[in-house]
Amino acid sequence: MTAKSHLQWTAEALDILRVGSGFRLADVDPESAPGYSGDKARGEADLAAGVDELDEYQERLYAASRSEVTDSSVLLVLQAMDTAGKGGIIRHVVGSVDPQGVMLTAFKKPTKEELSHDFLWRVEKRVPQPGFIGVFDRSHYEDVLIGRVRSLAPADEIERRYGAINDFEKRLADAGTRVVKIMLYISPDEQKARLAERLERPDKYWKYNPGDIDERKLWPEYMKAYQVVLERTSTEYAPWHVVPANRKWYARLAVQALLLETLEAIDPQWPAATFDVEAEKARLAAT
Amino acid sequence: MTAKSHLQWTAEALDILRVGSGFRLADVDPESAPGYSGDKARGEADLAAGVDELDEYQERLYAASRSEVTDSSVLLVLQAMDTAGKGGIIRHVVGSVDPQGVMLTAFKKPTKEELSHDFLWRVEKRVPQPGFIGVFDRSHYEDVLIGRVRSLAPADEIERRYGAINDFEKRLADAGTRVVKIMLYISPDEQKARLAERLERPDKYWKYNPGDIDERKLWPEYMKAYQVVLERTSTEYAPWHVVPANRKWYARLAVQALLLETLEAIDPQWPAATFDVEAEKARLAAT
């Protein structure tokens, strides 16, 4: 990358964090900062510097789509165990983008109506339009994560879903959506410290749910389910990226870099005027 | 207000900008900065200072709603002539808020399906949930603005709508939604300068539409339609505020102040724990 804010990156985040064949989640160190040579202070400065770049790319993407010269869009899929920092990513990375170009969806426990449909039904409705950056806070992957760990569907149905997800994402990619899938990866000890903090601070109580401990006890089962997800659904057209997230500053910077590199690859251009500029100047002058 | 960023305000923005009985739009100076004694540099500094306050209020509002101790929400309705700065307000004021607590809707020309329903049908679906700040970029007021100016509906139907709007907004207010209606008010000369800029800069072409000139020619008719809207729909429970907007820095600061004062009036509190904190600490320690 040539972008100013990325001089400390030794490689493209899209490459170095990508889940390829033979990937093992257990080999990733949640404390690490792959591809980035700077320290925390430098990382925070680079995050701030990236905001303007992201801002211009997003506006170009939006502008290009308004004039129908592109049907490109971006879909950022965020998955993680509780406390891994999805909220902070949305606040500090997604939140730095003009909200007029962002379509954010937080997928909660499915409603009765949602459960009566195929698991992709509610997801399909939230796919970003051309020009938009869609963000999924949790996603259809819950249906093969908690779905698998908690046996919320029969085993053969869970099995079917991996293929259905790949077909779905292939269709999105063919229609011009860059699907950027990110797992934020923390250690169980880090989660323990973050949950403990929520129990120490009255302004954090609302983020705590006793059910979080029940899920925490299933950590090994969740890691197995993630490993299967990464093996079965990291495709050419919609690869997964695992972002070590024990260090919040690195996770935020890495997600911003993944977004920046994705937009750089799209390389959206300001569209040409669809009207006669001189004629319009004359019309305006006459008013 | 006691908030630090508001020392330069000589009065509550909610009071000084409010449309009361006898209000005449023609008496407002779009160049003015009512209630604010600072200059542009000070205004920009105050806008930046207000970001953290807005951030905390929004998070408290969201947190309170998650624990069901409040059903409060805010609905910001933005109306204006083209180029008046709605986009800049959304980018710089709304955009400073955590996107997880914002529900933004840009209302475009109605689709066939929307037109087949009552004019409030599409609006109703975008009312904010408890804890959210809803933002309408244009709104149901288009149906009595362009609707009236362009005779898009029979006169008696337009007439009916003012009452229907008041009933609708009363229902929202009764359900806990603070409806903050804002008209950004620019002069025709200022619009001319801003349209001219769009025609000078290739990175602004995409924002220009030849139809903007056609609307511009109907300026007096639009001002009459706004005057009627302000007279008929500035109610106790959902008052209008007219924000002079020739100076962008003032308009942004004033909208931020209107939001801050609204949230201050709600005064959302961090909710108490809905679980036994010590018991949860013990459960966590055992994992």
CA distance B27 to chain A (A): 23
Per residue in B78-92, is it b (16+ CB within 10 Å) or e — as a string? Answer: bbbbbbbbbbbbbbb
Radius of gyration over alpha carbons of chain A, in Å? 20
In tens, the pLDDT along B95-116 reads 999 999 999 999 999 999 999 9
d(CA B183, CA A145): 47
The tokens for B65 are: 């709603």
Per residue in B31-53, is it b (16+ CB within 10 Å) or e — as a string? Answer: eebbbbebeeeebeebbeebeeb
d(CA B150, CA B142): 11
3-state secondary structure of A85: coil
**What pLDDT does B68 receive?**
72
**What pLDDT does A70 receive?**
77
CA distance A231 to chain B (A): 29
**What pLDDT does A67 receive?**
77
A214 HSE (CA, 13 A, CB side): 6
Contacts of A92 (CB under 8 A, 6+ apart): A47, A252
The answer to whether residue A206 neighbours chain B at the CB level (below 8 Å) is yes
The answer to whether residue A125 neighbours chain B at the CB level (below 8 Å) is no
CA distance B45 to chain A (A): 18
Find which of A96, A100, A212, A269 to mutate to test the B interface (most B CBs within 10 Å of its CB): A100
| Tokens 């690859």 found at | A265
Quote the number of domains for chain B.
Answer: 1
Give A152-186 as a 3 state SS string. CCCHHHHHHHHHHHHHHHHHHHHCCEEEEEEEEEC
Task: Classify the phi-psi angles of B267: left when phi > 0, otherwise alpha if psi is within -120 to 50, otherwise beta.
Answer: left
Q: What is the pLDDT along chain A (287 residues), one digit of tens a residue?
A: 445 456 788 889 999 999 999 999 999 999 999 999 999 999 999 999 999 999 999 999 999 998 777 789 999 999 999 999 999 999 999 999 999 999 999 999 999 999 999 999 999 999 999 999 999 999 999 999 999 999 999 999 999 999 999 999 999 999 999 999 999 999 999 999 999 999 999 999 999 999 999 999 999 999 999 999 999 999 999 999 999 999 999 999 999 999 999 999 999 999 999 999 999 999 999 99
d(CA A76, CA A57): 15
**What pLDDT does A1 receive?**
43
Indicate the DSSP class of residue A94. Answer: G
Cβ distance of B99 and A95 shorter than 8 Å: yes
8 A C-beta contact, residue A177 and residue A74: yes
- Cα of A2 vs its chain's centroid, Å: 23
Q: Mean pLDDT by 10-residue block, N- to C-terminus, for chain B (287 residues)?
A: 63 95 97 96 95 95 85 97 97 95 96 96 97 98 97 96 98 97 98 98 95 97 98 98 98 97 95 95 96
The angle at the Cα of A125, spanning B141 to A146, to the nearest 5 degrees, equals 130
Which residue of B lies nearest to A206 if distances are taken between CA atoms? B63
**What pLDDT does B67 receive?**
78
Q: Whole domain around residue B32: which residue ranges?
A: 4-285
In tens, the pLDDT along B156-182 reads 999 999 999 999 999 999 999 999 999
**What pLDDT does B5 receive?**
55
State residue B198 phi and psi, 5-degree precision.
-65, -30
| Tokens 């899920």 found at | A215
Cβ distance of B216 and A271 shorter than 8 Å: no
**What pLDDT does A4 receive?**
46
**What pLDDT does B220 receive?**
98
**What pLDDT does B1 receive?**
42
For position B175, which CATH number holds?
3.40.50.300
Cβ distance of A216 and B67 shorter than 8 Å: no
A270 HSE (CA, 13 A, CB side): 11
d(CA B65, CA B130): 6
**What pLDDT does A5 receive?**
55
